[in-house]
Amino acid sequence: MCKQAESVCFSLPAWVNAFIVGVDTLVSLEERMAMVIEASRQNIRRKTGGPFAAAVFESDSGRLIALGVNLVTTEALSMLHGEMIALSLAQRKLQTWDLGGQELPALELVTSTEPCAMCLGAVCWSGVDRVVSGATEIDARRLGFDEGPKPVDWEKELRQRGIKVIPGLLRSQAVRVLDEYRQQGGVVYNPGQG
């Protein structure tokens, strides 16, 4: 674990490795989303970060490549959203900055809540060919999270780049995690509140 100002390091909470043991392939999109939502739930119950998680899967087979959970508060880094971590870990695991490379199968990002402005940018440059999201921006804003200046029709923007979008999958289950976080008094971290 590095804490030097000249480097940026982070580690997933120890429970994540145990959580994904035995998870190799999840055939249906619903199974993939359910796993991601459960990871977001575990993240808040174990007090290891915010109420968000994401994973990169092979689109056709459902093979799990990388799971990320939100670590903004525990690692004190505003960029550590679940999507950013999942994409980063997938790139490291596959040893490429382009998850859309010709030598790779099609990859997708499954996220418990639709991407914020930062994560939307990362999606555009990551190379994934599909984004599947659960809760909506409206659901996150209802808790007070600042989702940033996203295009109103973010789905259209991704589709114009050749990225398929499936929004609102298991939305009610994802919203329950957000509600649980609020009921627990979870930190809503926005700029200028520290």
Name the range with the highest mean pLDDT among 109-113, 148-152, 186-190. 109-113
Pairing of strands 53-58, 107-113: antiparallel
Question: Can you tell me the distance from the alpha carbon of 60 to that of 45, in angstroms, rounded to the nearest whole number?
Answer: 32
> Quick one: DSSP state of residue 25?
B
What end-to-end distance do the CA atoms of the chain give, in Å?
24
Per-residue confidence (pLDDT) for residue 8, from 0 to 100: 87
Per-residue confidence (pLDDT) for residue 191, from 0 to 100: 79
Residue reference for tokens 């649980």: 180
Percent composition of the chain: helix, strand, coil (DSSP 3-state, to 5): 40, 15, 45
Q: Is the dihedral of CA 2, 4, 86, 96 positive or negative?
A: negative
Residue 67: beta bridge partners?
55
Per-residue confidence (pLDDT) for residue 114, from 0 to 100: 97
Sheet bearing 53-58, strands edge to edge:
64-69, 53-58, 107-113, 130-135, 164-166
**pLDDT of 1 above 80:** no
Helix (H, G, I), strand (E, B) or coil at 68: strand
Per-residue confidence (pLDDT) for residue 193, from 0 to 100: 65
